[in-house]
Amino acid sequence: MLGFDLPTIIANIPALLIGFAFHEYAHAWVADRLGDPTPRSQGRLTLNPIAHLDLFGTLMALLYRFGWAKPVMTNPQYYRGDKRRGQIMVSLAGSIMNLLVAFVVMFLWILTMHFIQGSQWSIYIGDVFEATLFMNLGLGIFNLLPIPPLDGFGVLAGVLPQRFTPQLRVIEQYGMFILIILLFTDILGKVLFPAVYGIAYAYQAIITLILTPFLG
């Protein structure tokens, strides 16, 4: 489903800035905690979205709710402990952060709508909450795909034995082309949208269960 209408794109802008900022900050923060000074030295240890935006990935996120930011550069040689485990942790951090942000957004959305229901601003505020929720879910799930330059490829590289490194480097050269083909043929949408909406419904059920005793 595309978001070509203007109100949807407008609602997606703050959603995208939040989603990308938290996603990339999580990568940078975990790498920094593991001892890698690279993200901090390159100004990526920040929630300022301007530091993280990638032009094409941003456009894809605005239109499809699936996209990517400018990758955080890291050097696993600095990681304390198991380097491959560190690579997996850094790769997973962004998607985990997006899924956590989505849960918080759903919580705030339900809570806010309870108190402003019927307000003339409720529709617009609800649109921003909805866009932020689905943007974060989309970014979190999409980036777990094992296709370069997505984070799932970093997880795959950390899990596979090192003898597969030459094959992974070959795939890395064509990753962007594979990604574009999958996006524009809507193959990814048919797989990812059910996952996104499934998690959203699960979040809604959990949070409604938590809040019902307090909100009546």
Which residues are annotated as catalytic?
24
> What would you report as the CA-atom Rg of the chain, rounded to the nearest whole angstrom?
18
**C-alpha atoms less than 13 angstroms from C-alpha of 183 in its C-beta half-sphere:** 23
126: number of CA atoms within 13 Å, CB side? 12
- State residue 114 phi and psi, 5-degree precision: -65, -40
Let me know: does 45 contact 32? Beta carbons within 8 Å: yes
CA 160 to chain centre: 23
Angle at CA 202, nearest 5°, toward 199 and 207? Answer: 125
Any idea which residue has 């979040």 for tokens? 203
In terms of C-beta distances under 8 Å and separation of at least 24 residues, what long-range contacts does 162-168 make, across chains too? none
